[in-house]
Structure formats: structure tokens, C-alpha cells
């Protein structure tokens, strides 16, 4: 068994479940399936007070599993819930502002890098990671070809880690890993059937152990 640190690792995106306790239970089950580097928590249109209650339930579940809890775009809720970091979906200016306010106390990374130019703008502010794709961008079985190409280009040139959004098929994680990126994000692929979430996390980790390229020290 290879250490997950030397190959592409899994990032989970919390699904849109209205009931906070059910959401925490579903996520907790998924995390029992094996290695997960971090979990991104989108707000999904909830008002701040409701979102905070969700995040306060989710953060301990994530941290107890050894993963980092990253709240999307809401620094106040992230701070109150003692999350590990912030995932910024805005542009490079929004990312720079979040980093100025919250690094090094929090992990700060982000996405919305739609092309090489925007990705390099984000890289200039030295975030903890750059995300290629949208948090709800898993609308097809496979990962978006543009995000795969951006991830491959980025990982061949830039030392800042990157996350590429996968597709609805768990097998898309291997295609993402083959680009050389450090992390693959999955949402629907894991949570479409919550009863299967743990076994899919285990299946994805086994596939990455077997097929993902290894990083050099």
C-alpha cells in the first residue's frame, strides 16, 4: 500500500442536503471509506445563520477524520466554526484579499481559473492551492476536458498544488490523477447514492493507489 501523500489525493465537496444532521451523517459515512485530504463546504444559498449551524456540525466530523475543513466564500462562518480554511470561488483579487486577511491562520485557496491567464493571476498571489472547475461542475460522467488540460499544464510548470474537479463517474478520478495534479475533487460521484459513499471513497482510493502517477520527493 502506497502512502497517499505521494500520489493524487481525494477532496470531497459536501452535497446539497437541506437537513444539517443528515448532511453530517452522510459526510461522516463517506469519510469512513479511506483517505480524504480535505472537504469543501459550499453554502448552497443558505442564509448565514443556517449555514453556520451546518458548518458547526460538519467541521468536527471532517477534522476527526483527519481531513481539512474548507468553507466556501464565507470567512465569518469559517472563523466561528473553527474551520481549517477558506475556498474562494471569486477572481484573483478576491483570493488576494482573503489571503491578506486570513493567512497564515487559515488555509486559503481558490478556483474560477477559467484559462491560463486567470490561473497565473491566481498563482501570483501564492495561494495554498488553485482549483480548476466549479464546485457544482460535475455535470457529466467524465471530468471537463478543459479542466484536465489546465491541470496538466499547471502541474508541469507551477509548484503551487492544484485541485481538478472530477465528473459524476468515480473513474474520472484516475483521469484527473493522470494529469499530474495533486488533488481530485468529487461530489456527485461519491454522494449520488449516500449509502454507497464510503465504498466509493474506498474504491477511488484503491484505483488511485493502483493507477495514479507517483510524485517525486
pLDDT (tens digit per residue) in 54-112: 999 999 999 999 999 999 999 999 999 999 999 999 999 999 999 999 999 999 999 88
Task: Judge whether residue 49 has pLDDT over 90.
Answer: yes
Q: Does any domain span residue 26?
A: yes
Q: Does any domain span residue 74?
A: yes
Q: Does any domain span residue 149?
A: yes
Q: Does any domain span residue 216?
A: no
Cis peptide before 99 (omega within 30 of 0): no
pLDDT tens digit sequence for 139-177? 999 999 999 999 999 999 999 999 999 999 999 999 999
Q: Does any domain span residue 190?
A: yes
> What is the model's pTM?
0.97
- By C-alpha distance, which of 33, 94, 90 is closest to 66? 33
CATH at residue 22: 3.20.20.70
- By C-alpha distance, which of 166, 151, 203, 216 is closest to 11? 166
Residue 108 CB neighbour total at 10 angstroms: 27
- Which ranges of 84-212 does DSSP label H, i.e. alpha helix? 92-102, 116-124, 145-157, 172-177, 188-191, 197-211
Q: Does any domain span residue 203?
A: yes
Q: Does any domain span residue 217?
A: no
What gap in Å lies between CA 22 and CA 15, rounded to an integer? 11
Q: What's the number of domains the chain is made of?
A: 1
Domain that holds residue 174: 9-211
Amino acid at each position: 500500500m502506497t502512502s497517499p501523500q505521494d500520489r493524487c489525493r481525494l477532496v470531497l465537496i459536501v452535497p446539497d442536503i437541506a437537513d444539517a444532521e443528515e448532511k453530517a451523517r452522510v459526510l461522516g459515512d463517506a469519510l469512513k471509506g479511506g483517505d480524504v485530504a480535505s472537504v469543501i463546504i459550499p453554502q448552497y444559498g443558505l442564509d448565514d445563520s443556517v449555514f453556520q449551524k451546518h458548518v458547526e456540525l460538519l467541521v468536527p466530523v471532517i477534522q476527526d477524520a483527519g481531513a481539512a475543513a474548507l468553507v466556501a466564500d464565507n470567512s465569518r462562518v469559517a472563523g466561528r466554526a473553527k474551520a481549517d480554511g477558506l475556498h474562494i470561488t471569486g477572481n484573483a483579487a478576491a483570493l488576494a484579499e482573503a489571503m491578506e486577511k486570513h493567512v497564515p491562520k487559515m488555509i486559503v485557496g481558490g478556483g474560477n481559473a477559467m484559462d491560463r491567464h486567470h490561473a497565473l493571476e491566481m498563482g501570483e498571489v501564492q495561494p495554498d492551492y488553485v482549483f480548476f472547475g466549479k464546485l457544482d461542475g460535475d455535470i457529466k460522467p467524465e471530468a471537463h476536458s478543459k479542466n484536465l488540460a489546465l491541470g496538466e499544464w499547471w502541474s508541469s510548470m507551477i509548484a503551487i498544488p492544484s485541485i481538478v474537479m472530477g465528473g459524476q463517474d468515480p473513474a474520472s478520478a484516475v483521469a484527473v490523477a493522470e494529469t499530474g495534479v495533486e488533488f481530485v475533487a468529487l461530489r456527485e460521484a461519491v454522494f449520488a447514492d449516500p449509502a454507497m459513499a464510503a465504498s466509493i471513497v474506498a474504491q477511488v482510493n484503491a484505483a488511485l493507489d493502483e493507477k495514479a502517477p507517483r510524485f517525486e520527493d
